[in-house]
Amino acid sequence: MLTFELESNKAQGAPYLDLSSIGWDYYNRSGRWGEQNKYRGKRLLYFESEYRRDFSRNGFWGFVLFANVHTVSEYAGNTFVYRHPAAGTGLRIKFNKISPTNICVDVGISKNFTGIYLSLGEVF
């Protein structure tokens, strides 16, 4: 599964809190396994990939491997200079066989940040 997003804040004098930022998209799904709101800029470029498999035949147990990278435009020059990668792995437990709802336990690492996340539901 691949995700590619490009957010752009076209307002020239936009207030700082209105600038594009990781984790503030409509469904709060960009920048998984990184600190929300850590990087802001007029433009945001985000790429994510995920691989998932089942452990058991009935799909009750599964795992996921993931990686993403994002960059925000610099204030001076409005160019993309720095990349911020993140990666991790997770365990999936099928919560409901009819719907694709899982209990998710993820461990993610990015520069200067490590997190363990527990959630109900899926990003993709």
Q: Where are the domains of the chain?
A: 2-120
Q: Which of 16-20, 43-47, 92-96, 98-102 has the weakest average pLDDT?
A: 16-20
Q: CA 1 → CA 87, 118, 124, distances in Å?
A: 15, 21, 8
pLDDT given at position 22:
73
| Cβ burial, residue 69 (10 Å; 0-12/13-18/19+) | middle
Q: pLDDT class for 59, splitting at 50, 70, 90?
A: confident
Name the percent of the chain lying above pLDDT 90: 21
Asked whether the predicted pLDDT for residue 42 surpasses 60, the reply is: yes
At 62, the pLDDT band (50, 70, 90 cuts) reads: very high
